[in-house]
Amino acid sequence: MPANSDMRKKANAQKNEVLRGVRVLVGRARHQAGALSGELRQWGADILEIPFIEIRKPRSFQSLDTALQTLADYDWLILTSVNGVHAMWERMVRLHLARSDLKHLQVAAIGPATKKAIEQKGIQVAVVPKEYVAESVVRSLRRRVKGKRVLLVRAKVARDVIPRELRKAGAQVDVVEAYETVVPRTSRRRLKTALKNPVRRPHVIAFTSSSTVRNFVALLGPRRRADDRRLQQGDRSAAPQDRR
């Protein structure tokens, strides 16, 4: 036992040195950054968290609620993010729906994190593609959805690869909005300050979705007063949005 303990301590010490002195900027949404940041710290990295995206409720849940109230009409359910899982489940609770209402569905998750979030709700996942992108979801489902009705739960704005290609494969696909992502207004100044400061400037920037990339570019771009004014007034369409 002492020998095993010493080996573990040595392994942990070596792990803590891998990223020693490396400053990593994590741009995930504030409520989701902790897990990634914590793991990177275990490898010795210095972490700076500046969210590139902010998750918000959509202006209306009407399309999602309508789909959830008619789940019996669907054969497949596709979820493309953990945020989508949480948003859908929250609406199910509000509508007094139970997990049993999903049991007849074949469920596809875009990746292991989404799969885990679904299974934590007590729902089995039938398909997780080898690559965690829309094209891989299509490849996994193309031969299985002909003549089937598919419900795709996702962000307000997202790539149309999944619905377009599955329709070509003979599926009837309904796309419903469960949440939206916007550029956090407070991140612009923090990001520019960090990049200008040689002491805080990151060596590595961790992008976790296409939306974080687009919003990072937007945050570095020129400030548009009209957009800022609309954001302050609650007009969410003023900021880039994406599937995450």
Put residue 21 in one of left, alpha, beta given phi > 0 → left and psi -120 to 50 → alpha.
Answer: left
Can you read off the two tokens belonging to residue 234? 């609650």
Q: What is the chain's Cα-based Rg?
A: 21
DSSP E strands, 23-129: 23-26, 46-49, 54-56, 76-79, 106-109
- The crossing angle, in degrees rounded to 10, of helices 210-220 and 187-196 is 80
Q: Which residues contact 171 (CB under 8 A, 6 or more apart)?
A: 76, 141, 145, 146, 147, 148, 149, 150
Answer yes or no: are the C-beta atoms of 242 and 52 closer than 8 Å.
no
Architecture, CATH, for domain 22-53+183-238: 3-Layer(aba) Sandwich (3.40)
Domain ranges of the chain: 22-53+183-238, 56-181
Whether the predicted pLDDT of 110 surpasses 60: yes
Tokens 């359910």, residue located: 77
How would residue 4 be classed by pLDDT, with cut points 50, 70 and 90? low
Q: If you average pLDDT over residues 203-214, what whole number do you get? A: 88
pLDDT in tens, 131-174: 888 889 999 999 999 999 999 999 887 778 999 999 999 999 99
Q: If you average pLDDT over residues 195-208, what whole number do you get? A: 91
pLDDT at residue 229 in the model: 46
CATH class of the region 56-181: alpha beta
Answer yes or no: are the C-beta atoms of 150 and 171 closer than 8 Å.
yes
- Are 22-53+183-238 and 56-181 equal in CATH topology? yes
Write down the mean pLDDT value for the chain: 85
pLDDT in tens, 35-59: 889 999 999 999 999 999 888 899 9
Q: Is the overall model pTM greater than 0.85, yes or no?
A: no
Helix, strand and coil in the chain, % to nearest 5: 45, 15, 35
- Pick from 187, 225, 164, 143: nearest CA to 50: 187
